[in-house]
């Protein structure tokens, strides 16, 4: 369902006015495939290009060359609305994932597809999945713990029922109890078979536990 072919990405480095623009190769000829219902982990040391790869597949940053297809269609050919139903991403830091000025309920309502009539029903369904029972229409992000916010971020990402859910280091900022809760939620998502999970992690034992395939990056190369 996901096919990445010969992907290259360079970043421009700051250089002084008189120097030629310097480039840093962040991803060097990456190719891989993911089948329906497979869980993938991307591992590798800090700076190896994991987040860069995720951001490219989520269309958050451009790439230099190569092709990325999801269900046989180039990701650049999806409309914005179509794409938000196709790929969603959960970021490393649960503290910055919600607008602090809006109630969680408001943020979640905004994330539901405009064409859905019973918006609250789908929100409740996803909140149940992540085991949050608070009145989210009264509460603001700061009134939830980091672990709860991480789970709320997962609920929000699932509102669009995406084909692919990327999670960038979803365990790194959580304590063991919350890590296990989040791991359980991912296992439930895996069993639902609606969404392909892709994890980015430093934690190889966790990667081995949950995934069918592991991709190891080293300095932008697939190893």
Ligand X SMILES: Nc1ncnc2c1ncn2[C@@H]1O[C@H](COP(=O)(O)OP(=O)(O)OP(=O)(O)O)[C@@H](O)[C@H]1O
Q: Which is nearer to ligand X, 3 or 202 (CB)?
A: 202
Q: Does 47 bind ligand X (CB under 6 A)?
A: yes
Q: Does 150 bind ligand X (CB under 6 A)?
A: no
State which of residues 51, 148, 150, 211 lies at the interface with ligand X (CB under 6 A). Answer: 51
Question: What minimum distance in Å lies between the beta carbon of 14 and ligand X?
Answer: 9
State which of residues 48, 86, 97, 148 lies at the interface with ligand X (CB under 6 A). Answer: 48
Give which of 183, 178, 222 is closest to 205, Cα–Cα.
Answer: 183
**Could you say which of ligand X, Mg ion, none residue 24 binds, taking C-beta under 5 to 8 angstroms by partner kind?**
ligand X
Give which of 66, 174, 62, 157 is closest to 112, Cα–Cα.
Answer: 157
Q: List the 2-13 sheet strands across, edge first.
A: 22-34, 2-13, 65-70, 73-74
Calculate the CA 208 to chain-centre distance: 18
Question: What minimum distance in Å lies between the beta carbon of 50 and ligand X?
Answer: 4
Calculate the CA 11 to chain-centre distance: 21
Q: Does 23 bind ligand X (CB under 6 A)?
A: no
Q: Which is nearer to ligand X, 97 or 107 (CB)?
A: 97
Rama region for 29: left / alpha / beta (φ>0; ψ in -120 to 50; rest) = left
Residues near ligand X (CB under 6 A): 11, 24, 26, 44, 46-52
């Amino acid at each position: 369902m996901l096919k990445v072919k010969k992907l290259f990405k360079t970043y421009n480095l700051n250089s002084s006015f008189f120097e030629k623009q310097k480039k840093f190769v962040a991803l060097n000829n990456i190719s891989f495939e993911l089948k329906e219902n497979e869980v993938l982990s991307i591992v590798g040391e800090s700076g190896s290009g994991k987040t860069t790869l995720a951001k490219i597949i989520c269309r958050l940053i451009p790439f230099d060359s190569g092709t990325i297809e999801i269900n046989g269609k180039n990701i650049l050919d999806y409309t914005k609305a179509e794409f938000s139903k196709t790929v969603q991403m959960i970021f490393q830091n649960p503290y910055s994932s919600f607008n602090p000025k809006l109630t969680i309920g408001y943020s979640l309502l905004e994330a539901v597809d405009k064409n859905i009539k019973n918006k609250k029903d789908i929100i409740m369904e996803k909140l149940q999945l992540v085991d949050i029972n608070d009145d989210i229409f009264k509460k603001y992000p700061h009134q939830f713990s980091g672990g709860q916010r991480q789970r709320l971020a997962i609920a929000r990402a699932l509102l669009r029922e995406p084909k692919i859910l990327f999670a960038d280091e979803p365990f790194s900022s959580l304590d063991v109890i919350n890590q296990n809760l989040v791991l359980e939620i991912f296992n439930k998502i895996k069993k639902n078979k609606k969404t392909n999970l892709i994890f980015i992690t430093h934690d190889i034992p966790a990667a081995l536990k949950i995934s069918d395939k592991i991709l190891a990056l080293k300095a932008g190369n697939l190893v």
